[in-house]
Each structure stands twice: as C-alpha cells, then as structure tokens.
C-alpha cells in the first residue's frame, strides 16, 4: 500500500496545475491533502472526476482557509473529523480514516505566523494533538501525515542558523512539540529510512527562486506508531512534483 501526503495550497488552484496528471504519476492507494482552502462541497466538486475513489474532507468554518481531505481507493471503516476540542475544531485541520490495521490521520498543524502571534496557541495545539493520537493508539496503531509546520533538526532546513528561534517553523517551542511526538512513540518514517539524508525538503518559499536553488524546509511528515515500523517498506519525498509550494511525501506499507 502506498500512501501520499501533500499540502496542495488550495485544491481548486492545484487542479489547474495538472493535479490529475500528478495524481496518476504518484500511483497511490491513498492521498491525503492539506490546505484545501475549500468547503466540503467545493472539494467534492473539484474532485468530481475521481469517482472511483472514496473522498472525505474536513473544512474550516472560515471559507477559503485551511482544510484537509483524504482520497482513498479502499473505503475507510469509519471517518472522524477534528479532535473533539472546541478551540481547535474550527479550522478543518484534522481528519481520521480508520482501516483494518491502523488509523490514518491527516493534519495541517497551525503555523505560528510571521510575527509568532500564534506560537503559544501552537504549543497547546501540539500537546492536545499528541494526546488525541495517543487515545487513538489505544485501539489501533496510528499513521499520521501532513504539514507539521516545523523543521525538526538542523538537517531539515537549508539555513538552520539564521532561522533558529527567529522564524516560525524553527522555534525551540515548535521543535519541542515535534520531540514530544518522536519521543512519545511516533517515529519519523523518513528519518527511520534516511537518518542522515540532507537537502531533502518538502516546502520552499515562493520568494527568491528558493525551489530552484533548493533552499527549502522539510516540514511535511509521516509519523508512525512503533508497532507499524516492521510493516514499513520505504518513506520518500517527491521533490519533482510541482503544483504547490509543498511537494508530496509518502510511505509504502
């Protein structure tokens, strides 16, 4: 089974950038999307040609903002939206599909913002999301994927020194949040297979030709319950697939 995660930076925008071709090229059993920037009915409309797939989505209350979706060949046993915490459940950031042997959660973690206005909120989000995943894990192993909006270590971004504790996505508080996941039983699948790989990024600023120069950040992840690790075959980043400021990342089970 191949599962892909992609922050598409707008489902309607990416559809105009050969998404159908990219989707075919990725040849996945399940594709998880973040930042759909659309209401549920708009997601369904955008993906109307994908009629052989089961499509579920979770939209923000605010229109044109945030949002997640899952496109799956196999029908999930169940689907749940959000964490069940009012404060966090307004932005369509969490979507969970249950399969026979695991829960698949796709997430679009809040960005701390250019002036770090949401950093403290982000810290409470990270803690609550970890607790939510742990509750799921009591029933079945968990595979969680998406845009975590943090580079975990120095090798996860091109320019660590000028960004450390100055830029959203590489603040110590955010790194601590990722440590909670990775030290609390959820393994970074890419680092499991490629512990020292450098220049492997999943997001590039639209400014200053960053993507062409590969001045990027690895902020999109697949984290897996430890009991799933023996079933993992590979984890990868598809840097050549265009259409968003992020590229797809994936795992093979």
Task: Kindly list the catalytic residues.
Answer: 108, 147
C-alpha span between 52 and 68 (Å, rounded): 19
Q: Where are the beta strands (DSSP E) in the chain?
A: 2-7, 30-34, 54-58, 68-72, 78-81, 94-98, 103-108, 142-147, 186-188, 203-204, 216-217, 220-225, 234-237, 249-252
Angle at 60 between CA 114 and CA 186, to 5 degrees: 70
C-alpha span between 189 and 1 (Å, rounded): 15
C-alpha span between 114 and 107 (Å, rounded): 20
Q: Which residues contact 167 (CB under 8 A, 6 or more apart)?
A: none
Dig out the tokens for 229 from the structure.
């690790």
Of 74, 78, 31, 36, the residue nearest 58 (C-alpha): 36
- β-bridge mates for residue 187, sequence order: 224
Q: What CA dihedral angle connects 197, 199, 204 and 207, to 10 degrees?
A: 160
């Amino acid at each position: 089974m191949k599962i892909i995660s992609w922050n598409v930076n707008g489902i309607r925008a990416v559809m105009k950038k050969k998404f159908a071709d990219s989707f075919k090229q990725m040849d996945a059993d399940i594709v998880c999307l973040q930042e759909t920037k659309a209401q549920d009915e708009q997601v369904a409309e955008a993906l109307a040609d994908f009629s052989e797939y089961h499509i579920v989505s979770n939209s923000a209350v605010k229109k044109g903002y945030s949002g997640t979706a899952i496109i799956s060949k196999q029908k999930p046993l169940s689907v749940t939206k959000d964490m069940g915490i009012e404060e966090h459940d307004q932005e369509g950031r969490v979507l969970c599909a249950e399969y026979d042997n695991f829960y698949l959660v796709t997430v679009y973690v809040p960005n701390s913002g250019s002036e770090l206005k949401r950093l403290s909120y982000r810290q409470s989000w990270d803690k609550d999301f970890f607790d939510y995943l742990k509750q799921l894990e009591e029933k079945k192993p968990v595979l969680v994927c998406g845009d975590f909006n943090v580079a975990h270590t120095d090798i996860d971004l091109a320019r660590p020194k000028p960004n450390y504790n100055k830029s959203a996505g590489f603040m110590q508080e955010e790194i601590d949040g990722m440590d909670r996941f990775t030290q609390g039983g959820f393994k970074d699948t890419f680092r499991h297979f490629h512990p020292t790989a450098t220049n492997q990024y999943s997001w590039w600023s639209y400014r200053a030709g960053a993507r062409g120069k590969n001045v990027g950040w690895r902020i999109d992840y697949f984290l897996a319950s430890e009991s799933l690790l023996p079933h993992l075959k590979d984890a990868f980043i598809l840097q050549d697939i265009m259409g968003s400021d992020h590229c797809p990342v994936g795992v093979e089970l």
